[in-house]
Chains A and B, each alone.
Chain A
Amino acid sequence: MTPSVRAEKRLLRILSLFLVALLLGEIPWIFVGLAMLGLIVSVLIADGWVRPLPRFLTSGAAVLAGVVIYATSDTMIGREPSAALLAVLASLKALEARGPQDERVLALIGLFLLAVVDLFQANLWTTLVSVLATAGYLWLLLRWAPVGLSRRRAMSVLGRLSLRALPVAMLLFLLVPRLQHEGLWGAASAGPTGFSEELIPSAVESIQPDETPVLRALWSYGYPEKPLYWRGSVLEEPQGFSWFVRPLARQRALDLKPLRFPRSNLSRVEWILEPDTGRWTFAPVGSLDVNEKEFNRALEGDPETGLWKLAARSRARTHLVAAVSEAPPVSVDARPDLQEMPPLSEETRQWLQSALTGTKSRLEKMRRLRRVFFDQGFLYSRKPGKLQDLDAFLKAKKGYCEHYASALALLGRAAGVPTRVVVGYMGGSYNPVGEFILVTKSQAHAWVEYLDDDNAWRASDATAGLAVEDALRDRPPARPTSWEEAGWFDRLHWGLESLNYEVAVFFMSFDLSRQVLLWNALREAGPGALAALFLVLLAAVMTSFGRRGWRSLLPSLEPREVRRYRRWVQKESRLGSEVSFIKGPLENLESVEKKDKERAEAARSIVDDYIRFRF
């Protein structure tokens, strides 16, 4: 095996290894680990240190992997199981690969793996990775093709074929309708929005900060002074220390009134929720308000419930809302169902009684309860250990937002206040370049809403302002809030973040509604625009499928003498003369002369001109 072949085999495996690494966190680590191990060993095989595994062994392992994946996922269809299966298959194929055909199949599995990675992550970086990895795989496919092009020629052929393929690919991207549907296999599981229809404190033993963008809000008023709450699912049903969302039908029937705010000091805000993969409700709370007219048009929200329902699987959707500086509460009917709760232990009941001594109104009770957390030395901790119930939490006196929200809501209900838990996000970093607020997964949050004495909803965040454990004090300092005080790194970061945002708006969120908008705009623009569209289509098709590629669009730049000579040779060839381009012009003329002197005489000037021009 030559060093170049070895290097290419290594490159192929490293590309797949990289893609598998990107799946880290998306599929069970055991499959990622196995695939990585297999690919690393296959590099040794490619280098000739170890012999390839026999095919029966890898086939057996593939079947076994399929069974294990089915057992762990309960299905073989969907993003996660297919990603796990592809990662394992790629490594097994790499372990048994012997010839060029195997290498080509491995490259094809890699391309498929890339498509699956794209399903999980949709941002600027994934786009760049996709472009580079696709180029790498196609280059390797050309190298391993039956013709076996040299490195340089494979590169040049790849460039030319890609340039020709791009226009049609772009047309397909723009014109193939994005069908809105519920998905072939039913609703997908929760995406990286962080929202969930349940809140089980301590279900996540250790929270890792994850900076995946969840939503961005256009915001042209500088850094917001107050932390913003981005309201997501509303959980009203307690089960022990956990909370669950009510079925939507029941929730509607329960007279859930929208939050209404006076329309003053409005400023338009654009939200992008990416990606949304479930039936989540989403609404701002606190300092943000809904501009109902625009809200209904953009979101088809339900003004009765005030919940912003997003269409299933609509991703990177843009929402128009309005913001106000302050929000007075809105009255709703009494909610007796919001007082249901599991029984408290005697110890907790006594603790509650002592904490609420002297309070009368709901507002006072909730404020006192929240205050107790600050006064009694409760800590914010990302690793509080397993806290299975309210008693354990009150003893441990540490936890994160989920523990505090669940505890406050349960204690509130025990004190006779109708409460519920809301999950969503708190905060967001302001980007002065793109003038938006970016909210990431690490800002996922949970808090409490309760009905006050006027039956108006109020929010209460038991976590905000808590002292944090020492381990969390070393967090990176907050980013500068303005362009002027930022260093070059922050400016670069903001710039790239803005670019990422633009990609999300114009590329990732291109859906049926945008296609319809595009079509309507073209129709309204009249026949001129349609003619222009036709010309663009023609140019794209000619570029892709014309014999001379994009040069088909240009007039021929061939000199007149050469063009005449070329046409003459083609014509004589059709007439059966023994002429060709590899023969000299005089030789061709001689051949024609032998066949037909008159034709040769007529062609002499063409040949003479050609000789004069070329020689």
Chain B
Amino acid sequence: MAAENADSPLKKKVYILPTGFGLVYGASLFLMLLLAYTYQSNLAYALTFFLMSFGLVVMLVTHRVVSHLKVREKFIAPVYAGRVFPPPLIVEEGGELDGAPEAVIFRPVKPTNLRAGEKGWRADERGIFALSRVEVRSLYPLGLFQAWKRVPVNARLVVAAAPIDHALRSAGGGSGGEEKPRASAEPREIGELAAGRPEDPPSSIDWRSMARGRGWQKKIFLAPGQRERRVSWEETESLQDTEKRLQQMSAWILAAQEKKLNLSVELPDGRQTTSLNEALTALAAWRDPS
């Protein structure tokens, strides 16, 4: 599906402005021209004129990169709110890009709750969004100018609830990997963390989380050889708040994903699924009936 509509006025409007570095480049050329003029130096004239026309050609290329650019939607799996994900778009026709599609930056315009960062996009909240307009921007090839245009697209983005912070730790504990391997022969593997209860044995308490002020967290260990993780809406009942419960489920699903475990999810609406996409879509779209 080609993303651009030929009749769209958006496609025709390409804006171009010099970058900060481009302004410095222009100012330098002006001074060089002044020097060449003052001292009537043909060599300095030649250098200045060459750099000038080089800048003009660069401006033209930057403009053409954007004006001739065609983008196409790309399917991406559901993503988590608050986490960086790649834009669901690919460059279909690069033209002047010389096979450097990474030179194009996408920024979502509609919906507005998506944000573009250096490493990719990020959604602030969960939901299923219809991506209808993106800004295509490029600094190629020299970064003297930046050109951009807004193009209509037709993409659907599933954003599941943000995984609860403490559950994002990779299994085995320790975010920096500084933990040394234990002396015991078969250390038990941590599946994920869950809210602690008074009756939990001290050995299952995640003291690290407590030390970091994240409250009482309980480690849930995987059974030896266990390759399946069951996640249930009921298990999150103690959290009470719907959003937190969804975030907890996201965290469990993410942990299972990272460990490449088979997943079995009991959704809030009572359905059971083993499909990750279906589970996350349901978590993204869930509305509390109350």
* B130 lies within 8 A of chain A by Cβ: no
- Given the contacts A145-B141, A157-B141, A544-B57, A82 and B35 also touching, CB distance less than 8 Å: yes
A119–B34 alpha-carbon span in the complex (Å): 12
A111–B64 alpha-carbon span in the complex (Å): 27
- The reply to whether A112 and B31 contact each other, CB–CB distance below 8 Å, is yes
- Given the contacts A112-B28, A146-B143, A178 and B40 also touching, CB distance less than 8 Å: yes
- The reply to whether B5 and A313 contact each other, CB–CB distance below 8 Å, is no
- Given the contacts A157-B141, A161-B61, A114 and B47 also touching, CB distance less than 8 Å: yes
* B52 lies within 8 A of chain A by Cβ: yes
* A206 lies within 8 A of chain B by Cβ: no
Identify the stretch in B95-103, B224-232, B256-264 within 8 Å (CB) of chain A at 4 or more residues.
B95-103
* B70 lies within 8 A of chain A by Cβ: yes
* B239 lies within 8 A of chain A by Cβ: no
* B148 lies within 8 A of chain A by Cβ: no
- Beyond the given A166-B53, A168-B53, could you list 13 further A-B residue pairs with CB under 8 A, ordered by the A residue number? A112-B32, A119-B36, A138-B54, A145-B142, A147-B100, A147-B139, A157-B141, A169-B54, A277-B39, A315-B40, A315-B41, A511-B42, A576-B5
- Given the contacts A104-B21, A108-B25, A176-B45, A169 and B5 also touching, CB distance less than 8 Å: no
Cβ proximity bits A330-369 to B, threshold 8 Å, 1 near / 0 not: 0000000000000000000000000000000000000000
Residues of chain B within 8 A of A161, CB atoms compared: 54, 57-58, 61, 141
Chain B: minimal CB distance from A542 (Å): 12
Contacting B37 at CB < 8 Å: which of A138, A142, A179, A507?
A: A179
Cβ proximity bits A118-141 to B, threshold 8 Å, 1 near / 0 not: 110010001100100010001001
- The reply to whether A544 and B49 contact each other, CB–CB distance below 8 Å, is no
Q: What are 11 contact pairs spanning A and B, CB under 8 A?
A: A115-B35, A118-B47, A122-B41, A122-B42, A142-B142, A145-B143, A169-B54, A184-B34, A511-B42, A547-B64, A580-B2
* B222 lies within 8 A of chain A by Cβ: no
* A172 lies within 8 A of chain B by Cβ: yes
A275–B93 alpha-carbon span in the complex (Å): 53
- The reply to whether A166 and B50 contact each other, CB–CB distance below 8 Å, is yes
A127–B50 alpha-carbon span in the complex (Å): 13
A467–B51 alpha-carbon span in the complex (Å): 54
* B24 lies within 8 A of chain A by Cβ: yes
Chain A: minimal CB distance from B16 (Å): 14
Query: 3 nearest interchain CB pairs?
Result: A574-B6, A168-B53, A118-B43
- The reply to whether A545 and B98 contact each other, CB–CB distance below 8 Å, is no
Most buried by B among A112, A115, A122, A126: A115
- The reply to whether A188 and B28 contact each other, CB–CB distance below 8 Å, is no
* B44 lies within 8 A of chain A by Cβ: yes
* B48 lies within 8 A of chain A by Cβ: yes
Contacting A146 at CB < 8 Å: which of B38, B50, B57, B139?
A: B139
* B183 lies within 8 A of chain A by Cβ: no
Residues of chain A within 8 A of B143, CB atoms compared: 104, 145-147
Q: Which of chain A's residues has its CB closest to B50's CB? A: A169
Which A residues are within 8 Å of any B CB, using their own CB? 79, 82, 101, 104-105, 108, 111-112, 114-116, 118-119, 122, 126-127, 130, 134, 138, 141-142, 145-147, 149, 153, 156-157, 161-162, 164-169, 172-173, 176, 178-179, 181, 183-185, 188, 275, 277, 313-315, 507-511, 544-545, 547, 573-576, 578-582
- The reply to whether A164 and B35 contact each other, CB–CB distance below 8 Å, is no
Chain A: minimal CB distance from B175 (Å): 26
Cβ proximity bits B170-195 to A, threshold 8 Å, 1 near / 0 not: 00000000000000000000000000
Chain A: minimal CB distance from B273 (Å): 31
- The reply to whether B41 and A118 contact each other, CB–CB distance below 8 Å, is yes
* B17 lies within 8 A of chain A by Cβ: no
A162–B141 alpha-carbon span in the complex (Å): 13
B: number of interface residues (CB 8 Å): 51
In terms of DSSP, what is the predominant structure of the interface of chain A?
helix
Most buried by A among B45, B52, B98: B45
Residues of chain A within 8 A of B106, CB atoms compared: none
- The reply to whether B44 and A185 contact each other, CB–CB distance below 8 Å, is no
A200–B139 alpha-carbon span in the complex (Å): 59
A164–B40 alpha-carbon span in the complex (Å): 26
- The reply to whether B31 and A581 contact each other, CB–CB distance below 8 Å, is no
Most buried by A among B36, B42, B103: B42
Chain A: minimal CB distance from B245 (Å): 41
Q: Which of chain A's residues has its CB closest to B105's CB? A: A146
Residues of chain B within 8 A of A510, CB atoms compared: 42
Q: Which of chain A's residues has its CB closest to B24's CB? A: A108
A116–B43 alpha-carbon span in the complex (Å): 10
Q: Which of chain B's residues has its CB closest to A121's CB? A: B43
Q: Which of chain B's residues has its CB closest to A157's CB? A: B141
A111–B26 alpha-carbon span in the complex (Å): 12
* B140 lies within 8 A of chain A by Cβ: yes
- The reply to whether B2 and A173 contact each other, CB–CB distance below 8 Å, is no
- The reply to whether B70 and A580 contact each other, CB–CB distance below 8 Å, is yes
* B60 lies within 8 A of chain A by Cβ: yes
Contacting B43 at CB < 8 Å: which of A164, A277, A508?
A: A508
Residues of chain A within 8 A of B31, CB atoms compared: 112
Q: Which of chain A's residues has its CB closest to B43's CB? A: A118
Residues of chain B within 8 A of A545, CB atoms compared: 56-57, 60
Residues of chain B within 8 A of A164, CB atoms compared: 57
Q: Which of chain A's residues has its CB closest to B41's CB? A: A119
Most buried by B among A101, A167, A168: A168
* B1 lies within 8 A of chain A by Cβ: yes
- The reply to whether A576 and B70 contact each other, CB–CB distance below 8 Å, is no
Cβ proximity bits B98-140 to A, threshold 8 Å, 1 near / 0 not: 1010110000000000000000000000000000000000011
Q: Which of chain A's residues has its CB closest to B56's CB? A: A168
Residues of chain A within 8 A of B49, CB atoms compared: 169, 172-173, 176
- Given the contacts A142-B142, A184-B34, A579-B2, A153 and B100 also touching, CB distance less than 8 Å: yes
